[in-house]
Chain A
Amino acid sequence: MATQIIGSTVKRREDPRLITGAGKYTDNIVLPRMTFMAILRSPHAHARIKKIDASRAQKHPGVLAVYTGEDLKKGGVNPIPVGFVLPDMKTAQHHPLAIDEVHYVGDGMAAVVATDRYTAKDALDLIDVEYETLPVVVDGEKATHAGAPQLHPEAPDNVAYYWKVGAGDADKALTEADGVIKQRIINQRLIPTAMEPRVAIADYQPATGDLTLYTTTQNPHLIRLLMALVLGQPEHKLRVVSQDVGGGFGSKIYLYADEVIACFAAKQLARPVKWTEERTENYKATIHGRDHITDAEVGYKKDGTITALKVKTWANQGAYLSNFAPLIPTFFYGPMLQGVYQISNFFVEVWGTYTNTTPVDAYRGAGRPEAAYLIERAVDWVAFELKMDPAEVRRKNMIPPFTSAPYQTSMVYAYDSGNYPATLEKALKNAGYADLRKKQAELRKQGKYMGIGISTYVEITGAAPAQVAASIGAGVALVESALVRVHPTGKVVVYTGSHAHGQGHETTFAQIVADQLGLSVDDVEIVHGDTERTPWGAGTYGSRSQPVGGAAVYVATQRVIEKGKKFATHMLEAAEADVVFEGGKYFVKGTPSKAITFQEVALEAYTAKKVPADVESGLEAISFFNPSNFTFPNGAHIAVVMVDPDTGKVDLTRYICVDDVGKVINPMIVEGQIHGGIVQGLAQALWEGAVYDDDGQLLSGSMMDYALPIASNLPSFETSRTETPSPVNPLGAKGAGEAGTIGSTPAVANAVMDALKPFGVRHIDMPLTSEKVWRAMQKK
Chain B
Amino acid sequence: MAQLKLTVNGVIYEADIDPRLLLVHYLRDTLGLTGTNVGCDTSQCGACTVLVDGLAVKSCTMLALQASGSKITTIEGLKQDGVYHPLQQAFWDNHGLQCGYCTSGMIMTAVDFLKHNPHPTEAEIRHAIEGNICRCTGYHNIVKAIKAAATQMADNRPLQRPQGQV
Contacts and interface: CB of A to CB of B under 8 A. Distances in A.
Given A118-B18, A680-B135, A704-B42, A503 B33 contact: no
B133 interface: yes
A503 B144 CA distance: 19
A290 interface: no
A195 B102 contact: yes
Nearest to B93: A11
Nearest to B21: A118
Closest 7 CB pairs of A and B: A21-B35, A246-B101, A18-B100, A502-B99, A502-B98, A679-B138, A21-B75
B130 to A, nearest CB: 4
A502 B100 contact: yes
Nearest to A15: B92
A643 to B, nearest CB: 20
Given A18-B103, A247-B99, A702-B40, A12 B92 contact: yes
A30 B126 CA distance: 36
Contact of A23 (B35, B39, B79, B140): B35
A196 B97 contact: no
Contacts of A21: 33-36, 74-76, 104
B119 interface: no
Interface of B: 18, 20-21, 25, 28-29, 32-42, 44-45, 47, 74-76, 78-79, 84, 88, 91-93, 95, 97-104, 107, 122-123, 125-127, 129-130, 132-144
Contacts of A278: 41
A196 B34 contact: no
Contacts of A279: 39-42, 45
Contacts of B142: 711
B88 A19 contact: yes
Interface string A655-672: 000000000000011011
Residue from the set B29, B40, B133, B142 with the largest chain A CB neighbour count within 10 Å: B40
Residue from the set A11, A14, A716 with the largest chain B CB neighbour count within 10 Å: A716
Contact of B141 (A501, A504, A672, A680): A672
Residue from the set A502, A668, A671, A673 with the largest chain B CB neighbour count within 10 Å: A502
Contacts of A383: none
B35 A195 contact: no
Contact of A195 (B47, B84, B92, B95): B47
Nearest to B84: A19
Nearest to B132: A711
A247 B93 CA distance: 21
Interface in A652-700: 668-669, 671-673, 675-680
Contacts of A502: 98-100, 136
Contacts of A709: 138-139
B133 to A, nearest CB: 5
A676 B137 CA distance: 4
Contacts of A159: none
Contact of B40 (A244, A669, A678, A703): A703
B20 A15 contact: no
B75 to A, nearest CB: 4
A15 B97 CA distance: 8
Contacts of B91: 15, 19
A717 B144 CA distance: 11
Contacts of B97: 15, 18-19
A553 interface: no
A676 B127 CA distance: 18
A280 B60 CA distance: 14
A557 B78 CA distance: 40
A20 interface: yes
Contacts of A30: 29, 32
A196 B88 contact: no
B138 A194 contact: no
Nearest to A23: B100
A246 B92 CA distance: 17
A195 B32 contact: no
Residue from the set B100, B101, B134 with the largest chain A CB neighbour count within 10 Å: B100
A711 B92 contact: no
12 contacts: A19-B97, A19-B103, A20-B84, A193-B135, A246-B37, A247-B101, A247-B136, A279-B41, A280-B42, A702-B41, A711-B130, A716-B143
A533 B125 CA distance: 42
Nearest to A19: B88
B140 to A, nearest CB: 4
B138 A195 contact: no
Residue from the set B34, B107, B136 with the largest chain A CB neighbour count within 10 Å: B136
Interface string A106-128: 00000000000110000000000
B59 to A, nearest CB: 13
Given A20-B75, A502-B98, A676 B37 contact: no
A242 to B, nearest CB: 12
B99 A246 contact: yes
A245 interface: yes
Contacts of B137: 672, 675-676
A179 B42 CA distance: 51
Nearest to A24: B34
A676 B107 CA distance: 18
Contacts of A193: 135
A389 to B, nearest CB: 29
B58 to A, nearest CB: 12
Contacts of A712: 123, 126-127, 130
A25 interface: yes
A577 interface: no
Given A279-B39, A669-B95, A711-B126, A676 B100 contact: no
A16 B35 CA distance: 12
Given A25-B37, A118-B21, A504-B98, 18 more contacts: A19-B103, A20-B75, A20-B78, A20-B79, A23-B34, A194-B101, A195-B136, A246-B39, A247-B98, A247-B99, A280-B41, A669-B95, A672-B140, A702-B41, A710-B133, A711-B134, A716-B122, A717-B140
Nearest to B102: A195
Given A21-B35, A118-B20, A675-B137, A195 B98 contact: no
A16 B21 CA distance: 30
Contacts of A593: none
A134 B44 CA distance: 34
Interface string A225-248: 000000000000000000011110
A767 B97 CA distance: 27
Given A279-B42, A710-B133, A501 B140 contact: no
A469 interface: no
Contacts of B45: 195, 279, 703
B38 to A, nearest CB: 8
Contacts of B42: 279-280, 702-704
Given A25-B101, A118-B20, A195 B133 contact: yes
Nearest to B100: A18
Contacts of B40: 279, 702-703
A745 to B, nearest CB: 14
B3 to A, nearest CB: 19
A278 B22 CA distance: 14
Contacts of B123: 712
A708 interface: yes
Nearest to A14: B100
Interface string A543-560: 000000000000000000
A497 B25 CA distance: 33
A716 B140 contact: yes
Given A15-B91, A118-B18, A249 B135 contact: yes
B99 A675 contact: no
A179 B34 CA distance: 61
Nearest to A501: B99
A680 B130 CA distance: 16
A499 to B, nearest CB: 12
A679 B142 CA distance: 13
